[in-house]
């Protein structure tokens, strides 16, 4: 007992000393912070406008460790590896945060993470398709502007190999499953939600009851664009075509029965005429049965939709992507919910939203640029710990952004982070598009198969059901049961060569174990209490040391701190 | 449109000549075998009659004494048989000025009687109901002859025009063919595409049956259901060779919003006449030959068509429908602040060549409305 | 401009997700229990509270008929009238009271029921109606009120069973429906069992014994406590709750074994979703779950209403009458409040699709058990069934009545959220005296 106490005290002293110097270094670094950001003009403006409305103290900037974890999760979809963390923490450059942002945006993993993020956001777990994933990955690899991506989705072109997979946005919704019919209303609704931030669903049968701004004609006008779209079955990849729209869409309110008509029309926009053609006159390029082409119509509603919706002068289009990317990085849309932009639901920071929208348009919908600006703002880099003087329970509205909001991790982020933490597998090591050169094909195939299995496992435990947006942190009993009892997952905490537990078992001394463990899993150094806990727990039964190391690692991976982006 | 269709259309395109308004709604409207009366069973416990020989249809005293709804009506000669949803069956001399029942059976079924049919010789009356039974009565006095317990809610019964066999259609899409002397069906036709089990609900079923004149073709009508609740489905006709039970054609005669085929008839000229009703405002009158892919006549302007009756002279049809704007979740009130119900416009339509000749001889025909 | 002022000035931030103060700390110790037996919910209900629970364990069975059951084809028939439909009414075990012929089994237990025929509520759309009814349609204060299940879970706590307080047996998929809880915080959400089935991963791998399991979870909980310091509690509380619940469920996997229902039970309840789910619901009540919601979907009969009800109602009749009988025979009805209702009734007028539309103006619900009179029909509609002719009862009246029946004083009891007192039921409404014992 005495011996143990001495050990702890000695250890504690040494640790405290180290901590003292480290803190000194950190605080001097923090003094330099305004310069440390190398903020762009938009990042500066964000902070000004957030401060203006904060109405009270703001949390200080997050530590380097917390920042590093956050930015890795956001830009490459996983926590940093131990090596990456250690390396970053040695940097003294005031530019170090900007450096890591730039490095991650330029990395091979960035398009993989963005593809995953946009897949879940746009398709809401309606299934997967390798062509769709390929389209998204390629688009983000090239940093295609959002207006172009949108055009490729809204009017997919079977002849363009690099974008044809975009048709999955349509086909995933138009596909029939058994007796479940094509979800045309869902498609119409989602075009409004995903690209304009308006949910016209309730305006399907009558003008919206609570939102004056959403009229039935908004729904019906969008329907006129896509109502004639159908799935082409003559291609192995997702593909759609449209029948000729020959007359306006007729509709009547279920309340007053008044009959109305509209041609294609964007919500709040002008109506497009529906031209009449003599039979055989509809085509610019006639269809060719031998070549299996459907021809080019003189009047194509998908073409008009793709030309008219993603325009820089369509304010709603620009605002929507700004708001959604803001939500991605900050945890809450300036307009919340994300798909209810309307005058009675104003943004929390109207001027900021307009500033960002102007900037996004001026930068031609450059997503990478925009994410960089957000990442370099003090608002993004704020700590998620409550500002001084606050205790739990006091009103601190999330839309004040006075403290960084905790955000959910998607099933995929959680998987990649768990793989990284436990050292089971190099995360993101599989890229079917061949980004990772140098691996032989059969290894890649086997690993991909393995990853797909794990992804399915994690999706079943953590993802929302199809069509339910993943916006907020939603802990579930299903997930808890998975973390406690799934045998594959638990297997990752058994000692195997190269993995975390194996490494820990080889370390000499519980302090080193604790530091390696915490830095690997939680991307931070342990507190004195935490070191003490590790030691106490391991020392209590040296015979079971390896098993206990596994439990220690399991406890951190299943903790709230690991399972959210804070 | 093909020449064939144009030729048929020239002859059989129905043109509206009058509308009778019945309030509250009626389930169906039928011309009497003599052609002089139009009789409609309604949601108000009675069978209403109109004299069709006058310039404007003139309403006569209605047949009372029923309860609930009168959905089932059948004729033979000068007798009208009516049945209600509380189980009562009655026979009437419908030509009388103030008819009283010739006979009644107070509890012919336990509850809802869905349909009646009279054998071609007029000897037997068949009925079916929600009590899962088929009953056979003597048509002249209502004495029970026999019954079958089918074990499924039954929507339709129909006698073969020549053999005396009886056909029944049920909720689960089974069509049975019965001999009056046999315990079990002699044959069964599978129409289960017209049925769907959705959540707690049995959806669809056989809603219409018809023979062609020769009795060789049996047409089965209903919907291919998509879902329960607000039932949606594609109105569908199954054209079956009666002898072999072989399915010859499946005709989908509308979109999912059109939902049910409520009545189908074979016209002697070889085409089917069917009416559909679905999501309020949707309904169709469809004339189509069984082997054709498209109808030669399609009317989408009359909402919610519930019945179709061909006048014995072969020149006119009556289609009972529902008024526009019949639905909505709000409170529909009239000027007095009273809650308003719906009504049934009964559309009288004459075939093209007849309408034209009538137009020439009787230019003053106007839409009439009585209620 | 100051942030808070703008909120008050315009009240345009709908339902702000404010931080909440109430936590389950009242029910759960802040340190972890030591014995396996008390492991379940952390196991640390304060002794005095536990005692009062034992004395008086009131429960709720909430049967939610989603989409809108027709009052005219159920509790308030108007046979032989313009809007009465085709069906007859039948006498019940309560002299002089008639209900639809589609409820023959229920008619025999009418003397155990309390029916209200004078509901007049506010909302005629599903999207708003389901929420407004289940939240009791409180006055809009810019906060999201909890569903009734979450409210009861909060006000009465989970009880001794250590099972989740609010369980939802529903067709389709299951999961944790934290949205139901509104401002009470996610831990008061519903735990939904899709098709009444056990969630996956319910059993602990053989490699772990109970002590191992306890040890690793202690480490996890300690980590969570450290993380929660200086942070909003919401996320950690919710996370703690789901892990606690998961652990309790692991010990009660027997609740999900539908193979142990007897043939006879299945026949009595009905061999369909609602019958089976009601049996699962009965088991949950017997196990001590505070609030059990059993859900049936597909009642939105805008089309083919009468054939629809002819098919739906007998299945409801069977399952509903069976569980009321069973609870009664087992002596449980005294402490179990049974409620069967939809978000609204259906229009008197019959549309062209032979359907009835949404009708919040004059409709009915049925109840039985805990704190209620048995064999009572409150309120009445006019002869055509179009309007309520007695005092109109809104859902707020029902919330007052239910809370009263459960021994909760809705006139004085309040939620306190961010220091703001919030009434638990609409303050313009009152309990319906004639329904209460």
Contacts of C215 in chain A (CB under 8 A): 551
Whether chain A has a CB inside 8 Å of the CB on C175: the answer is yes
Closest by Cβ to C19, choosing from A395, A533, A564: A395
Show residues of chain A in contact with C233, CB under 8 Å.
Answer: 392-393
Chain A nearest-CA distance from C124, in A, is 10
Is C77 in CB contact (< 8 Å) with chain B? no
Give the count of Cβ contacts less than 8 A between chain A and B: 19
Q: Name chain B contacts of A255, Cβ cutoff 8 Å.
A: 328-330
Residues of chain C with C-beta less than 8 angstroms from the C-beta of B201: 298, 308, 311-312
Averaged pLDDT, A389-400: 72
Asked if A56 has any chain B CB less than 8 Å from its own CB, the reply is no
Q: Which residue range forms the structural domain that includes residue C310?
A: 56-198+257-435
Tell if the CB–CB gap between A257 and B226 is shorter than 8 Å.
Answer: no
User: Which tens digit of pLDDT belongs to each residue from A298-307?
Assistant: 999 999 999 9
Contact state of C242 with A479 under an 8 Å Cβ cutoff:
yes
- B223 bridge partner residues: B235
| B287: closest CA of chain A, how far (Å) | 24
Put simply, the answer to whether C186 touches A384 (Cβ < 8 Å) is no
**Cβ contact, residue pair A202, C13, below 8 Å:** no
Q: Does A490 touch chain C (CB under 8 A)?
A: yes
Tell me, yes or no, if B164 comes closer than 8 A to chain A by beta carbon. Answer: no
The reported pLDDT for the residue numbered C50 is: 43
C25 has a chain A CB within 8 A of its CB = no
Predicted local confidence at residue A27, as pLDDT: 41
CA separation (Å) from A264 to A303, B33, B309?
Answer: 11, 52, 41
Residue C15: inside a domain: no
C308 touches chain B (CB under 8 A): yes
CB-closest option in B196, B227, B325 to A257? B325
From C203, which residue of chain A is nearest by alpha-carbon distance?
A485
pLDDT in tens, chain C (437 residues): 333 322 222 222 222 222 222 222 222 222 222 222 222 232 233 334 444 444 479 999 999 999 999 999 999 999 999 999 999 999 999 999 999 999 999 999 999 999 999 999 998 887 678 989 999 998 877 678 999 999 999 999 888 877 889 999 999 988 778 789 888 876 788 989 999 998 889 999 988 888 999 999 999 999 999 999 888 888 888 888 889 888 988 999 999 999 999 999 999 999 999 999 999 999 999 999 999 999 999 999 999 999 999 999 999 999 999 999 999 999 999 999 999 999 999 999 999 999 999 999 999 999 999 999 999 999 999 999 999 999 999 999 999 999 999 999 999 999 987 667 899 999 999 999 999 99
Q: Which of B201, B231, B329, B342 to mutate to test the interface with A (most CBs of A within 10 A)?
A: B329
Query: Has residue A158 got a pLDDT over 70?
Result: yes
Band of pLDDT at residue B165, cut at 50, 70 and 90: very high
Q: Which residues of A touch B281 (CB under 8 A)?
A: 252, 257
Task: Give the separation between CA A247 and CA A493, rounded to whole angstroms.
Answer: 63
Tell me if B342 and C348 make a contact (CB, 8 A cut-off).
no
Are residues A485 and C205, on separate chains, in Cβ contact within 8 Å? Answer: yes
Eight-state DSSP code of residue B8: H
With contact defined as 3+ CB pairs under 8 Å, the chains touching A are B, C
d(C-alpha B321, C-alpha B246), whole Å: 33
Chain B CB contacts of A179 under 8 Å are 196, 226-227
Please state which of the ranges A195-209, A434-448, B142-156 shows the lowest mean pLDDT: A434-448
pLDDT of B370 reads: 41
CA angle B180, B185, B189 (to 5 degrees): 125
Q: Between residues 179 and 208 of chain C, which touch chain A (CB distance below 8 Å)?
A: 186, 191, 199-205, 207
A252 touches chain B (CB under 8 A): yes
Which of 54-73 (C) contact B at CB < 8 A?
67
Q: B161 to chain C nearest CA, in Å?
A: 29
Whether residue A244 has a cis bond before it, omega within 30° of 0: no
For position B89, what pLDDT does the model report? 98
Tell me whether residues A257 and B324 touch, CB distance under 8 A: yes
Per residue, what are the HEC states of chain C? Answer: CCHHHHHHHHCCCCCCCCCCCCCHHHCCCCCCCCCCCCCCCCCCCCHHHHHHHHHCCCEEEEEEECCCCCCCCCCCCCCCCCCCCCCCEEECCCCCCEEECCCHHHHCCHHHEEEEEEECCCCCCHHHHHHHHHCCCCCCCCCCCCCHHHHHHHHHCCCCCCCCCEEEEECCCCEEEHHHHHHHCHHHCEEEEECCCCCCCCCCCCCCCHHHHHHHHHHHHHHHHHHHCCCCCHHHHHHHHHHHHHHHHHHCHHHHCHHHCCHHHHHHHCCCHHHHHHHHHHHHHHHCCCEEEEEECCCCCCCCHHHHHHHHHHHHHHHHHHHHHHHHHCCCCCCEEEEEECCCEECCCCCCCCCCCEECCCEEEEEEECCECCCEEECCECCCCCCECCCCECHHHHHHHHHHHCCCCCCCCEEEECCEEEECCCCCCCCCHHHEC
CATH number at residue C411: 3.40.720.10
Q: Which residue of C has its CA nearest to A556?
A: C220
Lowest-confidence range among A203-207, A306-310, A444-448, B119-123? A203-207
- At residue B330, the pLDDT reads 74
User: How far is residue B197's CA from residue A432's CA, in Å, rounded to a whole number?
Assistant: 43
Interface partners of chain C (CB pairs < 8 Å, 3 or more) are A, B
Residue A438: predicted pLDDT: 58
* pLDDT tens string A25-59: 444 334 334 434 467 789 999 999 999 998 888 99
Q: In C, residues 364-383, which contact A (CB 8 Å cutoff)?
A: none
Cβ–Cβ under 8 Å, residues B157 and B115: yes
- How many contacts, defined by CB atoms under 8 Å, are there between B and C? 142
Given an 8 Å threshold on Cβ–Cβ distance, is A465 in contact with C238? no
Q: Chain B within 8 Å of A256 (Cβ-Cβ)?
A: yes
For chain B, say whether A209 makes contact (Cβ under 8 Å): no
Residues 409-428 of C with CB under 8 A from A: 418-419
- Residue C70: the pLDDT is 98
> Which residues of chain B from 212 to 241 reach within 8 Å of chain A, CB to CB?
226-227
Which residues have a Cβ under 8 Å from the Cβ of C137 and sit 6 or more positions away?
Answer: C121, C122, C123, C394, C395, C396, C426
Q: Which of C312, C348, C350 sits opposite B200 (nearest CB)?
A: C312
Report the number of distinct structural domains present in chain C.
Answer: 1
C300 vs B contacts (CB less than 8 Å): 229-230
CB atoms C86 and B112 under 8 Å: yes
Query: Chain B, 190-219: which have a CB under 8 Å from a chain C CB?
Result: 198-203, 205
- Write out pLDDT tens, residues A463-518: 987 777 898 887 888 899 999 999 999 999 999 998 999 999 999 999 999 999 99
Choose from A138-152, B329-343, C136-150 the range with maximum mean pLDDT.
A138-152
Beta-carbon separation of C204 and A394 below 8 A: no
Among B227, B324, B327, the residue with its CB nearest the CB of A254 is: B327
**Binding-face residues of C in 117-136 toward A, CB within 8 A:** 125, 127-128
The residue in chain A having the minimum alpha-carbon distance to the alpha carbon of residue B279 is A254
What are the pLDDT digits (tens) for B181-207?
A: 999 999 999 999 999 999 999 999 999
Report B:80-119 residues touching C (Cβ under 8 A).
Answer: 85-86, 111-112
**Is any Cβ of chain A less than 8 angstroms from the Cβ of C351?**
no
pLDDT of residue A411: 97
């Amino acid at each position: 007992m005495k011996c143990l106490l001495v050990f702890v005290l000695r250890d504690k002293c040494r640790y405290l000393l180290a901590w003292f110097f480290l803190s000194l270094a950190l605080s001097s670094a923090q003094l330099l912070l305004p310069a440390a950001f190398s903020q762009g003009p938009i990042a500066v403006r964000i902070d000004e406008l957030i401060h203006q409305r904060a109405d009270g103290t703001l949390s200080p900037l997050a530590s380097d460790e917390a920042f590093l974890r956050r930015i890795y999760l956001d830009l490459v979809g996983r926590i940093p590896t131990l090596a990456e963390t250690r390396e970053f923490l040695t940097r003294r450059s005031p530019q170090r945060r900007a450096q890591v942002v730039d490095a991650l945006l330029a990395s091979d993993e960035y398009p993989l993470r963005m593809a995953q993020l946009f897949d879940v956001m746009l398709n809401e777990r309606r299934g997967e398709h390798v062509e769709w994933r390929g389209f998204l990955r390629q688009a983000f690899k090239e940093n295609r502007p959002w207006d172009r991506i949108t055009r490729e989705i809204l009017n997919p072109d079977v002849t363009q190999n690099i974008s044809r997979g975009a048709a999955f946005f349509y086909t995933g919704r138009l596909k029939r499953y058994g007796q479940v019919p094509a979800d045309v209303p869902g498609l119409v609704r989602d075009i409004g939600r995903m690209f304009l931030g308006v949910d016209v669903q309730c305006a399907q049968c009558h003008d919206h009851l609570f939102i004056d701004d959403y009229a039935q004609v908004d729904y019906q006008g969008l329907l006129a664009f896509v109502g004639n779209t159908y799935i082409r079955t003559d291609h192995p990849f997702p593909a759609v075509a449209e029948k000729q729209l020959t007359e306006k869409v007729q509709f009547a309110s279920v309340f007053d029965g008044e009959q109305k008509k509209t041609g294609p029309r964007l919500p709040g926009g002008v109506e497009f005429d529906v031209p009449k053609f003599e039979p055989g006159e509809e085509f610019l390029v006639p269809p060719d049965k031998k070549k299996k082409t459907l021809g080019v119509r003189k009047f194509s509603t998908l073409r008009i939709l793709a030309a008219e919706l993603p325009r820089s002068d369509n304010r709603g289009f620009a605002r929507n992507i700004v708001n959604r990317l803001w939500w991605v990085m900050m945890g809450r849309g300036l307009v919340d919910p994300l798909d209810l932009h309307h005058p009675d639901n104003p943004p929390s920071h109207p001027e900021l939203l307009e500033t960002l929208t102007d900037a996004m348009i001026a930068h031609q919908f450059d997503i990478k640029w925009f994410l960089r600006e957000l990442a370099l703002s003090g608002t993004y880099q704020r700590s998620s710990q409550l500002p001084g003087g606050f205790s739990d329970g006091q009103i601190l509205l999330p839309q004040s952004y006075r403290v960084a909001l905790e955000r959910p991790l998607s099933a995929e982020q959680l998987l990649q982070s768990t793989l990284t933490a436990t050292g089971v597998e190099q995360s993101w090591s599989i890229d079917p598009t061949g980004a990772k050169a140098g691996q032989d094909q059969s290894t890649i195939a086997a690993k991909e198969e393995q990853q797909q299995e794990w992804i399915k496992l994690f999706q079943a435990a953590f993802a929302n059901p199809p069509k339910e947006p993943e916006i907020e942190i939603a802990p579930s009993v299903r997930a808890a049961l998975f973390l406690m009892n799934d045998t594959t997952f638990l297997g990752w905490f058994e000692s195997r060569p190269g993995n975390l537990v194996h490494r820990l078992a080889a370390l000499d001394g519980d302090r080193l174990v604790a530091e390696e463990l915490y830095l690997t899993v939680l991307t931070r150094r342990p507190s004195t209490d935490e070191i003490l806990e590790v030691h106490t727990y391991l020392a209590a039964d040296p015979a079971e040391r390896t098993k206990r190391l596994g439990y220690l690692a399991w406890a951190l991976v299943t903790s709230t701190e690991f399972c959210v982006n804070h | 449109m093909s020449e064939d269709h144009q030729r048929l259309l020239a002859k059989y395109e129905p043109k509206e000549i009058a509308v009778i308004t019945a309030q509250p709604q009626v389930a169906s409207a039928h011309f009497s075998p003599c052609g002089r009366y139009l009789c409609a069973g309604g949601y108000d416990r009675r069978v209403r009659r109109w004299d069709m020989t006058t310039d404007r249809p003139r309403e006569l005293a209605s047949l009372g004494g029923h309860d609930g709804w009168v959905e089932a009506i059948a004729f033979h000669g000068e007798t009208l048989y009516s049945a209600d949803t509380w189980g009562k069956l009655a026979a009437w001399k419908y030509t009388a000025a103030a008819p009283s029942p010739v006979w009644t059976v107070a509890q012919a079924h336990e509850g809802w009687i869905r349909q009646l049919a009279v054998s071609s010789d007029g000897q037997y009356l068949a009925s079916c109901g929600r009590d899962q039974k088929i009953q056979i009565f003597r048509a002249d006095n209502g004495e029970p002859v026999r019954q079958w317990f089918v074990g499924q809610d039954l929507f339709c019964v129909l006698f073969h025009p020549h053999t005396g066999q009886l056909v029944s259609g049920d909720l689960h899409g089974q069509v049975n063919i019965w001999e009056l002397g046999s315990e079990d069906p002699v044959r069964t036709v599978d129409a289960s595409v017209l049925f769907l089990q959705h959540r707690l609900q049995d959806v669809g079923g056989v809603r219409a049956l018809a023979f062609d004149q020769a009795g060789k073709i049996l047409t089965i009508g209903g919907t291919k259901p998509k879902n329960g609740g607000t039932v949606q489905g594609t109105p569908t006709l199954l054209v079956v060779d009666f002898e072999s039970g072989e399915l010859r054609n499946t005709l989908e005669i509308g979109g999912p919003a059109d939902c049910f085929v409520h009545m189908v008839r074979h016209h002697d000229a070889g085409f089917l006449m069917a009416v559909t009703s679905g999501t309020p405002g949707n309904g169709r009158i469809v004339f189509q030959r069984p082997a054709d892919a498209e109808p030669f006549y399609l009317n989408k302007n009359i909402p919610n068509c519930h019945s179709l009756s061909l006048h014995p002279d072969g020149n006119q049809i009556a289609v009972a429908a529902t008024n526009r704007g019949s639905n909505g979740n709000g409170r529909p009130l009239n000027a007095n602040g009273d809650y308003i119900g719906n009504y049934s416009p009964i559309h009288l339509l004459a075939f093209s060549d007849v309408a034209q000749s009538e137009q020439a001889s009787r230019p003053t025909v106007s839409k009439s409305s009585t209620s | 401009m100051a942030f808070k002022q703008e909120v008050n000035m315009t009240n345009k931030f709908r339902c702000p997700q404010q931080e909440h103060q109430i936590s389950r700390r009242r029910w759960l110790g802040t340190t972890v229990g030591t014995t396996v037996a008390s492991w379940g919910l952390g196991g640390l209900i304060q002794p005095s509270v536990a005692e009062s629970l034992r004395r008086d364990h009131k429960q709720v069975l909430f049967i939610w008929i989603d989409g809108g059951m027709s009052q005219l084809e159920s509790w308030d028939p108007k046979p032989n009238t313009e809007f009465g439909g085709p069906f007859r009414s039948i006498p019940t075990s309560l002299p002089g009271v008639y209900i639809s012929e589609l409820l023959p089994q229920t008619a025999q237990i009418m003397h155990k029921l309390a029916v209200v025929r004078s509901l007049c509520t506010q909302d005629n759309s599903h999207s708003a109606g389901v929420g407004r009814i289940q939240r009791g349609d409180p006055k809009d204060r810019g906060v999201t009120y909890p569903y009734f299940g979450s409210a009861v879970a909060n006000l009465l706590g989970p009880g001794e069973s250590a099972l989740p307080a609010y369980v939802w047996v529903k067709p389709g998929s299951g999961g944790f429906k934290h949205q139901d809880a509104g401002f009470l915080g996610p831990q008061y959400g519903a735990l939904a069992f899709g098709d009444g089935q056990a969630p996956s991963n319910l059993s602990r791998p053989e490699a772990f014994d109970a002590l191992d399991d306890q040890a690793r979870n202690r480490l996890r909980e300690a980590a969570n406590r450290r993380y929660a310091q200086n942070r909003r509690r919401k996320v950690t509380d919710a996370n703690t709750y789901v892990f606690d619940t998961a652990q309790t469920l692991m010990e009660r996997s027997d609740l999900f074994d539908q193979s142990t229902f007897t043939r006879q039970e299945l026949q009595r309840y009905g061999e369909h979703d609602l019958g089976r789910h009601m049996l699962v619901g009965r088991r949950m009540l017997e196990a001590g779950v505070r609030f059990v919601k059993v859900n049936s979907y597909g009642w939105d009969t805008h089309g083919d209403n009468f054939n629809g009800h002819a098919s739906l109602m007998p299945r409801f009749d069977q399952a509903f009458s069976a569980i009321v009988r069973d609870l009664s025979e087992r002596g449980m009805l005294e402490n179990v409040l049974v409620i069967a209702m939809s978000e609204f009734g259906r229009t008197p007028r019959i549309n062209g699709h032979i359907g009835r539309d949404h009708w919040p103006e004059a409709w009915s619900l049925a109840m039985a058990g805990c704190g209620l009179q048995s064999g009572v029909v409150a309120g009445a509609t006019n002869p055509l069934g179009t309007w309520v002719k007695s005092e109109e009862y809104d859902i707020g009246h029902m919330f007052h009545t239910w809370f009263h029946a459960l021994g909760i004083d809705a006139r004085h009891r309040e939620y306190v959220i961010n220091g703001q007192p919030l009434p638990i039921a609409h303050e313009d409404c009152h309990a319906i005296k004639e329904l209460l014992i």
